[in-house]
Amino acid sequence: MRYTAPPWLPEGHSQTIWPALMIRTPRPHYRREQWPTPDGGSIVLDFVDGKPGSPLVVLFHGLEGSSDSHYARALMHALTGLGWHGVVPHFRGCGGIDNPLPRAYHAGDADEIRWILQQLAIRHPVMAVAAVSLGGSMLLNYLACEGEQAIPRAAAAISAPLDLVAASTRLDRGLGRLLYTRMFMNTLKPKALATLQRHPGLFDGKKLRKARTFIEFDDLVTAPLHGYGTALNYWTSASSKSRLQLISCPTLILNARNDPFLPASALPAPHEASPAVQLEFPADGGHVGFVSGRFPGHINWLPQRILDFFKPHLQV
């Protein structure tokens, strides 16, 4: 996997999300469904329909992602080529619909993953699940909670923030704060303020408008709204790294060592994961980048790696 980066990219960021964002993959022919949630909310799911009897691959997006994220489009196109079913469920408030509830989504939300997979399994008993970034954290927490009862036959977590303390601390400093945290705050803060309008007094709007870092945002919004109290308690409690030994489902964990969201020192050692977990930590790839070829490159490597891992477990 080699990529020739343009000279204007910051040093150390030649394989990050930025090159991947510049590669335009056509939008798949999605079929959208809107589901009511058990607590009175609503989510949307975008499907690509495969051949009858073919397996389903579920993709959970990352923080503020969607079915239009570069990695989602690439994987859904690959599934279409195989004739398989695919779906990108959207977390609360994502996918272009409002979230009416005083809650959103968070790294430890195994319950949301469980409910979505249970509904999908009614139609598609043969299933594999991939998840990216924050969605990867949610998926790994679900797999650890479920153990041998997990629904998927195989799973893959890509660029997951396995240690949320290390990841959030890195994003709140230096170039990470300048490039990535600012990008996320541009959508997280307006959504939180819209929630505050629906539920006055939920948190301090003045402090939120001034928030510039994840610790400020998570202290004000994410942690208290989801029962964690403080950002540090949220990051510690919702980190999946400490639970990898509880996973029974065949699972690929793929993190690049040059991921700007998570330092390589925070990656787990083999003894910290169960035998069902396959750890792959390539030197390059950045954060859900994994771009190959000459500039501007292509993003075919990642969907192919995911599907190569899934195929033996789906008996295809």
Catalytic residues: 133, 259, 287
DSSP the chain: --EE--TTSPTT-TTSHHHHHHS-PPPP--EEEEEE-TTS-EEEEEEE---TT--EEEEE--TT--TTSHHHHHHHHHHHHHT-EEEEEPPTT-SS----SS----TT-HHHHHHHHHHHHHH-SSEEEEEETHHHHHHHHHHHHHGGG-S-SEEEEES--SSHHHHHHHHTSHHHIIIIIHHHHHHHHHHHHHHHHHSTTSS-HHHHHH--SHHHHIIIIIHHHTT--SHHHHHHHH-SGGGGGG--S-EEEE--TT-TTS-GGGSPPGGGS-TTEEEE--S--TTTT--BEETT-B--HHHHHHHHHHHHHHT-
d(CA 273, CA 257): 18
Beta bridge partners of 34: 44
